[in-house]
Structure 1
Amino acid sequence: MILSSPSIVLKKHPSKFVGCCLANPAEDGSGIQQLEHLILTDGYRAVRFNPYLWPSGQQMTNDIGKVMFSKAGELGVPVGFMCMKGLNLHISEIEKLCTEFPKTVVSFSFLQTSYVSSLFLLTSRMTKNLVLSQLLELSRFPQVYVKFSALFRVSRNPFPYEDLSPLLAQLVSSFGANHVMWGSDFPFVVKECGYKEAKEAVSLIANQVPLSSSDLEWIMGKTGVQLFHGQWVAS
């Protein structure tokens, strides 16, 4: 599980939890030292870039953004992008950062980057296809990983969301199973189908593709272990 807020559990259970902090793009550059402190002292192992926190009129590719993105690579922590209004609004920034700093690993949430959250069912097919295409094209960057997550939000069908099998097939075909990982979307999934069922859904969807048992092992654990340098023990 990835924690997005400070917690003593990071130190008590280092093999079970990975802390994810939020980048502070303040113009005075204070966020750079904050990032180093959170990673080197507090034990966080990932950072999120929220483009809507950047000062008005500025992008994630400004000087502060570049320094923080590069610093994440130096410290060995992946960067996640919170493109809640659509990947298409920030794709050029992301491509520029990945191009200039190939050593910085990037992790995308499938839901956050491919679709506009609760507006998914209202989004035109043309727009959805365009954004999905943009996401798949990012596979040209070897440092990019993708989370197959929040299935209940993306699917038009109830559990086990088997209509998503073509999408999983596209992700694996483009990125490789060793760059795709399941995201539970806990705790929100509990009120939908339940954590256990959400996990089972991925296996059922994979059977429709079909994927090999080796590919499924990567998606359900080995990719996460690889991404966080063995921080977790695959189970």
Structure 2
Amino acid sequence: MNNLSKQPSMSRRRYLQTAAVAVAGASISLAKQPQEPGYIDAHVHVWTPDTTTYPLGKDYDKSAMKPASFTPSELFAECRPEGVDRIVLIQMSFYQFDNQYMLDSIAQYPDTFRGVAIVDHRKPGVGLTMRNLQDQGVTGFRLYANAESANAWLDSPEMATMWKSAADTGQAICLLSNPDALPAIEKLCRRFPKTNVVVDHFSRIGGSGTIQQADLDNLCKLEKFPQTYVKTSAFYAFGKKQAPYLDLGPMVKRLRDTFGAQRLMWASDCPYQVQNEHSYAASISLIRDKLDFLTAEDKEWMLRKTAQSVYWI
């Protein structure tokens, strides 16, 4: 029996009046909200100029905060006009292991944000720490990877605990890696095949201005690990470093052809993407509007569904 059959009877006139009001209300509501869920920005940093409530780490001072402020409200002014309504927050380095500002931002906007935290894997109980943070909206953990650090992780029992814990919880290991770390990352993915791994910012390939094919080949070798994903992001920092960033199209196509769009996700890397001549609109437009080889389904995955599947767990 449906709900309507349980309602008391009403006159036809009353029914039509009620229906008209409902339709009008629905029209107003739909005018305020998109017909489909908005896009997801899979990589944004936020911070506050209030360093009393949220102190910086011991290795940082306010000179590191450029711009001086990038709060959620400042972020929304950039992303919402472009149809982005969910965001993955990445813990900012100058807070080091103190994730509180990010956690408070998630608590304030729980339907909007998920978080990627930074934890000290050398401390006892890191697995429990990861589980506790999951209850606060943290669905990933950031690691900084160059060749030296990534190779050291291969023999680190503490790092093994972290990767295994992430596999158990479904949280992701998110790697800000240099291209020289990719061979070691491949070994880690082989050792921990059940762990979701996200490689940030093309593994920084093209940061020198030139996309080295050997580096791209190494990144594409990660395709054989189904739990590994790549962010096509931070366009301001790679290749010619100029909008509309079309020179990055061949690298995006190679990754789409190799991984499939289901394992790629777009991200802006705000606030850095909105400095100087760069803009938020130019970043999302590359994937949404500029690359003819991307199908509508590709864009749906890269702009929404991949990030949702990894971070909204």
User: 1:216 matched to which residue of 2?
Assistant: 299
Indicate yes or no: 2:275 matched with 1:184. Answer: no
Q: Which aligned runs of 4 or more in structure 1 are off by greater than 6 angstroms?
A: none
Unaligned runs of 5+ in 2: 1-86, 92-98
Q: Deviations over 1:179-210 (max 9, x none)?
A: 11101111111114211222112234322xx1
Q: State the aligned residue count.
A: 214
Any conservation in 1 of the 2:183–2:218 contact (CA below 8 Å)? no
How far apart in 2 are the matches of 1:106 and 1:158? 29
Match for 1:115: what amino acid? I
The verdict on how the C-alpha distance between 1:116 and 1:154 changes in structure 2, with shifts beyond 3 A counting, is closer
Secondary structure at 2:251's aligned position in 1?
A: helix
User: 2:134 matched to which residue of 1?
Assistant: 39
User: 1:64 matched to which residue of 2?
Assistant: 158
User: 2:187 matched to which residue of 1?
Assistant: 96
Alignment of structure 1 residues 103-182 onto 2, 5 Å? 103-111=194-202, 113-115=203-205, 117=207, 120-121=208-209, 128-156=212-240, 158-182=242-266
Aligned residues: CA RMSD: 2.3
User: 1:195 matched to which residue of 2?
Assistant: 280
Match for 2:197: what amino acid? V
Name the % identity: 26
Any conservation in 1 of the 2:201–2:231 contact (CA below 8 Å)? yes
Q: CA deviation at 1:61?
A: 4.2
Match for 1:15: what amino acid? D
The verdict on how the C-alpha distance between 1:33 and 1:157 changes in structure 2, with shifts beyond 3 A counting, is closer
TM-score (norm 2): 0.62
Match for 2:306: what amino acid? T
Any conservation in 2 of the 1:172–1:180 contact (CA below 8 Å)? yes
Match for 1:2: what amino acid? V
* Aligned match for 2:111, one of 3, 12, 15: 15
User: 1:73 matched to which residue of 2?
Assistant: 167
Q: CA deviation at 1:24?
A: 1.3
TM-score (norm 1): 0.81
Any conservation in 1 of the 2:235–2:241 contact (CA below 8 Å)? no
Indicate yes or no: 2:88 matched with 1:2. Answer: yes
How far apart in 1 are the matches of 2:254 and 2:191? 26
